Amino acid sequence: MTAGLWRTIVVFALLLGWLFPASADVAVPQLTGRVVDQTGTLSSGDIAALSQKLRDFETRKGSQIAVLIVPTTQPETIEQYSIRVAEAWKIGRKKIDDGAILIVAKNDRHLRIEVGYGLEGALTDVTSRRIIDEIITPKFRSGDFAGGITDGVERMIRVIDGEPLPVPSPTVNFGSLDDLAPLFIVTLFASIGVGGFFRAMLGRLLGSFVTGGIIAALTWFILGSFALALALGSLGFIIGFVADLFSAITPGTSRSRGGSWSSGSSSGGWSSGSSSSDSGSFSGGGGSFGGGGASGSW
């Protein structure tokens, strides 16, 4: 083969690569909520209602279900794409693996129910296929995507409800600093007022430590949140200790006087990121998937 022919082949190959570039896989979208619609198929009301239904189900049962609608999964099959989504989102509780994802590729006319390890005994491949064929796709064919997805999710919930799963741990969710403000105010007055009694008896350091411990214990007992108990207990210790120190070095200042202190001093450590609402902070619980589930088309 001559050098000229080789050059012609190389140039032709480069030209083909330029004209027909390799298609990249569709990126897995960020998990911004229980329902992620990249096609504009669902209205804001549909998304809100479905998200609330899934949120209530998670609170009651502990299991997580998410919905994803994308235009296409090409060049991958929906099975390949779904497992990538499952691995990225980690829907379901860690080590319980009780998550499920309903994925719709609208332009491809394909859909899939991806099932976590812990639900494969209830939401079996056969059951998942029946939900797709008997409930979801008939409505999709008539153009009722919201109805198909809602009815399909409701059937998934009923099936999962029949599976004995560990009860969800008690959690307390706060959506904003406005929700936390009453807790800060109570902590403030308890640290200065009630804490003054213990500091008078036990001294500034030990009294403040006991006050913080009591606040933490009551928070844990009433609200069931270890993180919140630790935070408010630490805050109570700091406020009480500093307030007592301030009153000790300021002539004529009463221990119960706290005008220079406010709940705003603690706002820097809290944000809406502690919320489990669908405002961008929803996340999977660490669940694992192994390819269980079923696919369909319409």
Report which of residues 176 and 240 the model is more confident about. 240
pLDDT at 163: 84
**Residue 269 CB partners (closer than 8 Å, separation 6+):** 231
Query: Over the stretch 183-197, which tens digit does the pLDDT of each residue have?
Result: 667 776 666 666 666
pLDDT at 231: 79
Q: Would strands 99-105 and 35-37 be described as parallel, antiparallel, or unpaired?
A: unpaired
pLDDT grade, residue 254 (50/70/90)? very low
R_g of the chain computed on alpha carbons: 28
Q: How deeply is 256 buried, as exposed, middle or buried, from its count of CB atoms within 10 A (0-12, 13-18, 19+)?
A: exposed
User: Has residue 26 got a pLDDT over 60?
Assistant: yes
**Amino acid at residue number 251:** P
What average pLDDT does range 12-24 have in this prediction? 47
Query: Over the stretch 47-95, which tens digit does the pLDDT of each residue have?
Result: 999 999 999 999 999 999 999 999 999 999 999 999 999 999 999 999 9
Token pair of 258 as six digits: 């706290």
What average pLDDT does range 261-274 have in this prediction? 34
CB 235 within 8 A of CB 184: yes
pLDDT at 83: 94
pLDDT grade, residue 266 (50/70/90)? very low
How many Cβ atoms sit within 10 Å of the Cβ of residue 5?
9
Report which of residues 94 and 24 the model is more confident about. 94
SS3 102: strand
How many Cβ atoms sit within 10 Å of the Cβ of residue 275?
16
CB 120 within 8 A of CB 63: no
Residue length, the chain?
298
* Domain 35-169 = CATH 3.10.310.50: yes
- The conformation of residue 259, written as its DSSP 8-state character, comes to T
Report which of residues 141 and 13 the model is more confident about. 141
- The conformation of residue 93, written as its DSSP 8-state character, comes to B
Domain map (residue ranges) of the chain: 35-169, 177-274
SS3 286: strand
CB 151 within 8 A of CB 49: no
- Write down the pTM of the prediction: 0.59
pLDDT grade, residue 15 (50/70/90)? very low
pLDDT at 24: 76
CA proximity to 79, closest of 298, 293, 274: 293
pLDDT grade, residue 1 (50/70/90)? low
pLDDT grade, residue 174 (50/70/90)? very low
Query: Over the stretch 205-225, which tens digit does the pLDDT of each residue have?
Result: 777 777 778 888 777 776 666
Report which of residues 214 and 276 the model is more confident about. 214
